[in-house]
């Protein structure tokens, strides 16, 4: 039952230090084309069934107590761009946010497992939380990625199920933590691009991903963006 799954993963996000206090929000697509989402002003570690509202595809509340999460437009943009997605989680993972503050890119090929499952993780430039501008800035990234970072703010992860989205959130935060540990010693070296492309093609074949990304699997560079010119190579 989606509401119980969302309650469960809200608690797990809190217990894994992926958000605190009233941070974050969770949602799921319903078979009738409406969406279940956490209401505004709830602690995601202690959600109850009464903390959820149902909204239509414009974000208008159809049932439930209180108001939908202020980030509902972010969730709706993900569902609109990705008919394959059934759940969206938004959290404030501290190491990942720290990377956006420190200018440490998660778009570089650093760890094989991340390339296999997520590809790269884009960072969306700062925009006001809850704004339609933020949702629109994320929209093009949702077509190609299941995990994106919001500068100074947090992460948005997509999945067919809440578990799949949660795994992507954990992977993203784990990568960020490893990157910050490595940077204490030195800037990490990158996986050479031919190997990164090889891994990505393997991952898209083995684990799938956003349909537009999977469709790029046979292209020369698969779906990997061109390298940054940041002097690290
Ligand atoms: Zn947030």
For ligand 1, the distance from its centroid to the CA atom of residue 193, given in whole angstroms, is 33
Residue-wise burial string across 194-228, b where 16 or more C-beta atoms lie within 10 A, e elsewhere: eebbebbbebbeeeebbeebbebbeeeebbbeeee
Per-residue pLDDT tens digits for 91-132 = 999 999 999 999 999 999 999 999 999 999 999 999 999 999
| Alpha-carbon span 153 to 13, nearest angstrom | 16
pTM of the entire structure?
Answer: 0.95
Per-residue pLDDT tens digits for 16-39 = 999 999 999 999 999 999 999 999
For ligand 1, the distance from its centroid to the CA atom of residue 91, given in whole angstroms, is 6
Q: Which long-range contacts (CB under 8 A, 24 or more apart) does 94-97 make?
A: 94/17, 94/173, 95/173, 95/176, 95/177, 95/179, 95/180, 96/149, 96/154, 96/155, 96/172, 96/173, 96/175, 96/176, 97/149, 97/152, 97/153, 97/154
For ligand 1, the distance from its centroid to the CA atom of residue 22, given in whole angstroms, is 9
41 within 8 A of 22, measured Cβ to Cβ: yes
| Per-residue confidence (pLDDT) for residue 232, from 0 to 100 | 41
For ligand 1, the distance from its centroid to the CA atom of residue 137, given in whole angstroms, is 15
For ligand 1, the distance from its centroid to the CA atom of residue 152, given in whole angstroms, is 10
Residues marked active site are found at 71
Per-residue pLDDT tens digits for 48-64 = 999 999 999 999 999 99
Per-residue pLDDT tens digits for 143-153 = 999 999 999 99
- Conformational region of residue 41, where left means phi above 0, alpha means psi within -120 to 50, and beta covers everything else: left
CATH 3.40.50.300 corresponds to the domain 2-214: no
Per-residue pLDDT tens digits for 152-208 = 999 999 999 999 999 999 999 999 999 999 999 999 999 999 999 999 999 999 999
- Whether the pLDDT of residue 231 is over 50: the answer is no
| Alpha-carbon span 185 to 206, nearest angstrom | 34
User: Can you give the residue ranges of every domain in the chain?
Assistant: 2-214
């Amino acid at each position: 039952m989606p509401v119980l799954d969302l309650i469960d993963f809200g608690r797990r996000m809190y217990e894994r230090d992926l958000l605190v206090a009233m941070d974050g929000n969770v949602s799921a697509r319903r078979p009738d084309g409406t969406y279940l989402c956490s209401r505004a002003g709830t602690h995601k570690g202690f959600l109850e069934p009464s903390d959820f509202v149902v909204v239509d595809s414009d974000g208008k509340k159809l049932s439930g107590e209180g108001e939908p999460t202020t980030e509902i437009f972010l969730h709706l943009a993900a569902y609109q761009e990705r008919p394959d997605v059934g759940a969206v989680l938004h959290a404030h993972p501290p190491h990942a946010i720290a990377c956006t503050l420190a200018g440490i890119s998660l778009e570089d090929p650093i760890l094989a497992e991340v390339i296999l499952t997520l590809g790269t993780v884009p960072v969306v430039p700062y925009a006001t939380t809850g704004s339609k501008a933020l949702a629109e800035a994320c929209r093009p990234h949702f077509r190609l990625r299941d995990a994106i970072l919001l500068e100074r703010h947090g992460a948005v992860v997509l999945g067919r199920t809440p578990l799949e989205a949660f795994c992507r959130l954990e992977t993203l935060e784990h990568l960020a933590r490893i990157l910050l540990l490595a940077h204490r010693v030195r800037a990490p070296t990158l996986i050479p691009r031919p190997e990164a492309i090889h891994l990505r093609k393997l991952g898209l074949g083995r684990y799938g991903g956003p349909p537009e990304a999977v469709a790029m699997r046979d292209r020369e560079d698969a779906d990997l963006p061109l390298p940054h010119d940041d002097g690290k190579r």
